[in-house]
Chains A and B, each alone.
Chain A
Amino acid sequence: MTEKTAREVLKDDSMMIQKKLISGHYNNLAQAREKGKKIVYTFVPGNIIELVRSFGLLSMLPEIDSLQSAMRKKSDQYVAEAEKMGHSEDVCTYVKCHIGMIQSGIPGPDGRPLPEPDLLLLSYTGCFTFLKWFELLRQRFKCPVVLLQIPYQAEGKITKDMRDYIVKQLKDDVIPALEKLSGMKYDEERFKDAMRKSSQAEEDFVWTLNSAKQKPSPIDAYFGGVYYVGPIFTYFRGTDEAAEYYRVLREEVTQRIARKLGPITPEGPMRNEKFRIVVEGPPNWTHFREFWKMFYDEEAVVVASSYTKVGGVYESGFRHDPENPLSSTADYCLGCYTNLSLPSRVEMITNYIRDFQADGFIVHSVKSCNSFSAGQLLMLREIETRTGKSGGFIESDLVDSRYFSPSNIKNRLESYFQMLDQKKGGRS
Chain B
Amino acid sequence: MSEINDILNRCQELYEDLSLGYVQRWKEMYGKKAVGFLPVYVPRELIRASGMLPVGIMGGGDQIEIIRGDAYFQSYICHIPRSVIEMALSGKLDCLDGMMFPSICDVIRNLSGMWQLMFPEKLSIYFDSPQNFESDTGGIFYQNELKRILDEFSKLSGITATDESLRDATALYNQNRRLTQQLYRRRADKPWEIPTSELYLLLRAGNILEVTEHNQMLERYMALASKENRKPLDNSRLVLNGSFCEQPPLGLIRALERAGGYIVDDDFVLAGRMIKSEIPLKGDPLENIVEAYLKDSKDVPFKYNIENKGDELVESFRENRADGVIFCAASFCDPGLLEQPMLQGRLDKDKIAYTSFQFAENTGQYQVIREQVGTFSDTIKLWGGQ
For B132, give the chain A residue with the smallest CB separation. Answer: A149
How far does the Cβ of B372 sit from chain A's closest Cβ, in whole Å? 16
For B346, give the chain A residue with the smallest CB separation. Answer: A139
Knowing A135-B306, A377-B71, the reply to whether A129 touches B337 (Cβ < 8 A) is no
Tell me whether B71 and A172 are in contact (CB under 8 A).
no
For the complex, give the distance between the alpha carbons of A371 and B113 in Å. Answer: 12
Tell me whether B338 and A341 are in contact (CB under 8 A).
no
For the complex, give the distance between the alpha carbons of A151 and B148 in Å. Answer: 14
How far does the Cβ of A362 sit from chain B's closest Cβ, in whole Å? 15
User: Which stretch of B5-13, B163-171, B197-205, B328-336 is in the interface?
Assistant: B328-336
For the complex, give the distance between the alpha carbons of A155 and B124 in Å. Answer: 9
B126 at the interface (CB under 8 A from A): yes
For the complex, give the distance between the alpha carbons of A367 and B337 in Å. Answer: 15
How far does the Cβ of B293 sit from chain A's closest Cβ, in whole Å? 14
Tell me whether A128 and B141 are in contact (CB under 8 A).
no
For the complex, give the distance between the alpha carbons of A192 and B216 in Å. Answer: 62
Chain A residues with CB below 8 A from B145, complex form: 161
Tell me whether B106 and A128 are in contact (CB under 8 A).
yes
Tell me whether B111 and A161 are in contact (CB under 8 A).
no
B109 at the interface (CB under 8 A from A): yes
Contact with A along B7-38 (1 / 0, CB 8 A): 00000000000000000000000000000000
For the complex, give the distance between the alpha carbons of A367 and B148 in Å. Answer: 34
For A367, give the chain B residue with the smallest CB separation. Answer: B76
Knowing A86-B341, A378-B72, the reply to whether A161 touches B141 (Cβ < 8 A) is yes
For the complex, give the distance between the alpha carbons of A357 and B340 in Å. Answer: 47
A384 at the interface (CB under 8 A from B): no
Tell me whether B73 and A377 are in contact (CB under 8 A).
yes
Q: Output the residue of A90, A124, A395 with the most chain B CB within 10 A.
A: A90
A410 at the interface (CB under 8 A from B): no
Tell me whether B126 and A135 are in contact (CB under 8 A).
no
For the complex, give the distance between the alpha carbons of A129 and B309 in Å. Answer: 16
Chain A residues with CB below 8 A from B379, complex form: none
For A153, give the chain B residue with the smallest CB separation. Answer: B126
User: Which stretch of B47-55, B114-122, B153-161, B284-292 is in the interface?
Assistant: B114-122
A169 at the interface (CB under 8 A from B): yes
User: Which stretch of B181-189, B221-229, B268-276, B297-305 is in the interface?
Assistant: B297-305
For the complex, give the distance between the alpha carbons of A378 and B113 in Å. Answer: 10
Residues A342-366 near B (CB distance < 8 A)? 342-343, 345-346, 365
Tell me whether B341 and A370 are in contact (CB under 8 A).
no
Knowing A128-B302, A375-B111, the reply to whether A370 touches B105 (Cβ < 8 A) is yes
For B108, give the chain A residue with the smallest CB separation. Answer: A374
For the complex, give the distance between the alpha carbons of A319 and B76 in Å. Answer: 37
For the complex, give the distance between the alpha carbons of A386 and B309 in Å. Answer: 47
Tell me whether A375 and B306 are in contact (CB under 8 A).
no
Chain A residues with CB below 8 A from B309, complex form: 135, 139
Knowing A88-B337, A135-B305, the reply to whether A128 touches B342 (Cβ < 8 A) is no
Chain A residues with CB below 8 A from B141, complex form: 151, 161-162, 164-165
For the complex, give the distance between the alpha carbons of A154 and B112 in Å. Answer: 8
Knowing A135-B305, A139-B309, A173-B137, the reply to whether A375 touches B341 (Cβ < 8 A) is no
Q: How large is the interface on A (under 10, 10 to 19, 20 to 34, 35 or more residues)?
A: 35 or more
For the complex, give the distance between the alpha carbons of A86 and B76 in Å. Answer: 19
Chain A residues with CB below 8 A from B302, complex form: 128, 131
Tell me whether A136 and B103 are in contact (CB under 8 A).
no
Residues A58-87 near B (CB distance < 8 A)? 85-87
Number of interface residues of B (CB under 8 A): 56
Tell me whether B340 and A343 are in contact (CB under 8 A).
no
For A132, give the chain B residue with the smallest CB separation. Answer: B338
How far does the Cβ of B187 sit from chain A's closest Cβ, in whole Å? 29
Chain A residues with CB below 8 A from B332, complex form: 90
A389 at the interface (CB under 8 A from B): no
How far does the Cβ of A60 sit from chain B's closest Cβ, in whole Å? 19
Tell me whether B107 and A370 are in contact (CB under 8 A).
yes
How far does the Cβ of A313 sit from chain B's closest Cβ, in whole Å? 16
Chain A residues with CB below 8 A from B306, complex form: 134-135, 138, 145
Residues B94-143 near A (CB distance < 8 A)? 103-107, 109-114, 116-118, 126, 128, 130-132, 134, 136-138, 140-141
Q: Output the residue of A124, A127, A132, A365 with the most chain B CB within 10 A.
A: A132
For the complex, give the distance between the alpha carbons of A136 and B304 in Å. Answer: 11
Knowing A92-B334, A135-B342, A149-B138, the reply to whether A341 touches B116 (Cβ < 8 A) is yes
How far does the Cβ of B70 sit from chain A's closest Cβ, in whole Å? 10
Chain B residues with CB below 8 A from A370, complex form: 77, 105-107, 110, 334
Knowing A90-B358, A374-B73, the reply to whether A154 touches B131 (Cβ < 8 A) is no
Tell me whether A152 and B105 are in contact (CB under 8 A).
no
For A397, give the chain B residue with the smallest CB separation. Answer: B76
B344 at the interface (CB under 8 A from A): yes
B144 at the interface (CB under 8 A from A): yes
A264 at the interface (CB under 8 A from B): no
Knowing A87-B341, A129-B338, A152-B126, the reply to whether A374 touches B106 (Cβ < 8 A) is yes
A57 at the interface (CB under 8 A from B): no
Interface residue from B114, B140, B334 paired with A375 (Cβ < 8 Å): B114
Tell me whether A135 and B74 are in contact (CB under 8 A).
no
For the complex, give the distance between the alpha carbons of A154 and B110 in Å. Answer: 9
B260 at the interface (CB under 8 A from A): no
Q: Output the residue of A134, A149, A373 with the most chain B CB within 10 A.
A: A149
How far does the Cβ of A392 sit from chain B's closest Cβ, in whole Å? 15
For B103, give the chain A residue with the smallest CB separation. Answer: A152
Tell me whether A374 and B111 are in contact (CB under 8 A).
yes
Chain A residues with CB below 8 A from B74, complex form: 365, 367, 373, 376-377, 395
For the complex, give the distance between the alpha carbons of A95 and B340 in Å. Answer: 14
Knowing A128-B302, A135-B306, A135-B309, the reply to whether A378 touches B131 (Cβ < 8 A) is no
For the complex, give the distance between the alpha carbons of A369 and B338 in Å. Answer: 14
Chain A residues with CB below 8 A from B111, complex form: 374-375
Tell me whether B128 and A152 are in contact (CB under 8 A).
yes
For A135, give the chain B residue with the smallest CB separation. Answer: B306
Chain B residues with CB below 8 A from A145, complex form: 306
How far does the Cβ of A172 sit from chain B's closest Cβ, in whole Å? 6
For B70, give the chain A residue with the smallest CB separation. Answer: A377
How far does the Cβ of B345 sit from chain A's closest Cβ, in whole Å? 7
Residues of A within 8 A of B (CB): 85-88, 90-92, 95, 122, 124, 127-129, 131-136, 138-139, 145, 147, 149, 151-152, 154-155, 161-162, 164-165, 168-169, 172-173, 341-343, 345-346, 365, 367, 369-371, 373-378, 382, 395
* 5 A-B pairs closest in CB distance: A342-B113, A154-B126, A132-B338, A370-B106, A374-B110
What are 20 sample pairs from A and B whose C-beta atoms fall under 8 A apart? A86-B340, A87-B341, A88-B329, A88-B337, A88-B358, A90-B337, A92-B334, A128-B109, A128-B302, A128-B335, A147-B132, A147-B304, A149-B130, A162-B141, A172-B134, A371-B106, A374-B106, A374-B107, A376-B74, A382-B117
